[in-house]
Structure 1
Amino acid sequence: MSEHVCIQIFQECTGEHSHPYPQILVPLQETMRIRAEETEYEVKLQELFFVPPGMNHRCNYRGRLLVLNLPLEVLDNREVAALCYPTVVSMHGQITQLVELIQSELRQNPDSKSVRHLYSYLYSKLCENCAAPSIRYIGEHYDLPITVNQLAEMESYNVTYYNDWFKQQTGCSPSLYLRHIRVNRAKDLLVETNFSVMEIAVMVGYSSNSTFTRAFHSITGMTPKAYRECPCFKRLG
């Protein structure tokens, strides 16, 4: 198994970092507060926090913490929008059992091949848990005009309750979540294609270059043009 595929219990978690693999954090003593990119999340006992690969996160947690690093293979061929963004998930039923099974299996046989199947199954259960209709809709239709009224109706909630519910699920408002989805897709298009900035703006759901540029800058701190021209990214020749 690769070096990052492991499960450990730490006495604390401090500082800011990122890693190329997805990670699950489970506080074992008290509520954990963690900041991922620009959003702060509160993870209570009997909850876990999913960190997508490459996501900067920072916390100052002092207490026993279960850290589960997932193999990148579990992400293959999965297009669940909820797990491309940090997510707090309630620990119950099969999710709890799977985490306990993985711990037990790794204690008995750290090189066990069956652990990979458990990882994949755990990830699929997290996907199911996070697959609320409105969140899935954002991930699949981010290029269309989307209103909070539409999203609330999908969950049969009034708008006020839906906004509170959505923030509890994702750590941010529906509009900010949608902006992240659109900007992340735009970043890929800027680096991997030769489409113009205006064409990319339309492809990810913005009707004007100026609106797209403001949204992109609010997430990345850069304009789309500057992002594309940055020498740290590999582009088409």
Structure 2
Amino acid sequence: MILPIHGILYIETNYKKLALNDEHLFFLPPDCKHTFRANKSNEFLVLDISNNMLNKYDMENMIGGREFLFDDKWKAIRYLLLNEADNKKSSSSINDLFLYCYHFIADGSIPDSIKYINEHFTEDIDLKKLADIEHYNISYYSEWFKNKINVSPLEYIQNLRVKKAKELLLNTNLTILQISQIVGYEHNSSFTRVFKYLEKISPTEFRRKIKK
């Protein structure tokens, strides 16, 4: 686990390439091949964690490492770790601190690209942008996404759009065209095709059925 103190550290793994600064920390799983470099002086707190303190399943979900926003919570954890690091007899305290913060690392928190989709699914979303958010290569991102969510990015977006459309069909009197445009489809035909594929019924039939 790499926590910033000052400066920038450039890290590259098989699937990620990022400049780690004072706004983020980075968790590097065991046996993850990586390189790092710096152009200027920097200082980072590196916590070397024993494998027996890590859950194998969690590590499989962090291929290539995971980046976290360095918020006030992590700043407090860094402060405690630095204090304990100055005490040569405090290894057990450091272990306890890591166990405390481990669930922040492996709590199954929603990856940033999925958060982005959840907030912008009604807009045009570029696959490259999603891959960039996770610092993954485009060729790997779709595979990573499907392994994590069990559907492709496109299927995930379609499901969100149809779910929102069903809410609008149920709770508003908006036309099918208006709803299709609200959830991200320029043409009614495209929306109807996706809706029917997922729900096995057209939007019009769905509305008629639920309002009987």
Shorter-normalised TM-score: what interval? 0.5 to 0.7
Deviation of residue 80 (structure 1)?
6.8
Question: Of 25, 35, 42, which aligns to 2:2?
Answer: 25
Which residue matches 1:167?
Answer: 132
Deviation of residue 176 (structure 1)?
1.2
How high is the TM-score relative to the length of structure 2?
A: 0.54
Indicate if the aligned counterparts of 2:131 and 2:141 stay in contact, CA closer than 8 A: no
Which residue matches 2:83?
Answer: 104
Deviation of residue 92 (structure 1)?
0.8
1:70 aligns with 2:49: yes
SS of alignment partner, residue 47 of structure 2: strand
The percent identity for this pair of structures is 16
Deviation of residue 55 (structure 1)?
0.9
When you count helix as a share of all residues, which structure comes out higher? 2
Deviations 1:58-115 (A, max 9, x none): 1222422221112223322653765333122111122221122122123224344232
Q: Amino acid of the residue matched to residue 14 of structure 2?
A: E
Distance in 2, matches of 1:133 and 1:39, equals: 14
Indicate if the aligned counterparts of 1:49 and 1:89 stay in contact, CA closer than 8 A: yes
Distance in 2, matches of 1:152 and 1:92, equals: 19
Question: Of 26, 29, 36, which aligns to 1:49?
Answer: 26
Alpha-carbon spacing, 1:84–1:121, altered in 2? closer, same or farther (3 Å)? farther
Distance in 1, matches of 2:116 and 2:61, equals: 16
Question: Of 176, 181, 202, which aligns to 2:140?
Answer: 176
How high is the TM-score relative to the length of structure 1?
A: 0.49
SS of alignment partner, residue 62 of structure 2: helix
Which residue matches 2:181?
Answer: none
Distance in 1, matches of 2:3 and 2:67, equals: 10
Distance in 1, matches of 2:146 and 2:51, equals: 23
SS of alignment partner, residue 35 of structure 1: strand
SS of alignment partner, residue 106 of structure 2: helix
Indicate if the aligned counterparts of 1:74 and 1:123 stay in contact, CA closer than 8 A: no
Which residue matches 1:115?
Answer: 94
Which residue matches 1:132?
Answer: 110
Distance in 2, matches of 1:134 and 1:45, equals: 18
Deviation of residue 152 (structure 1)?
6.4
Alpha-carbon spacing, 1:104–1:179, altered in 2? closer, same or farther (3 Å)? same
Q: Amino acid of the residue matched to residue 179 of structure 1?
A: E
When you count strand as a share of all residues, which structure comes out higher? 1
Distance in 2, matches of 1:88 and 1:115, equals: 21
SS of alignment partner, residue 96 of structure 1: helix
Which residue matches 1:85?
Answer: 64
Distance in 1, matches of 2:18 and 2:55, equals: 27
Gaps (5+ residues) in structure 1? Answer: 1-23, 137-150, 184-203, 206-237
Gaps (5+ residues) in structure 2? Answer: 152-212
How many pairs align?
Answer: 147
SS of alignment partner, residue 67 of structure 2: strand
SS of alignment partner, residue 101 of structure 1: helix
Alpha-carbon spacing, 1:88–1:56, altered in 2? closer, same or farther (3 Å)? same
Q: Amino acid of the residue matched to residue 177 of structure 1?
A: Y
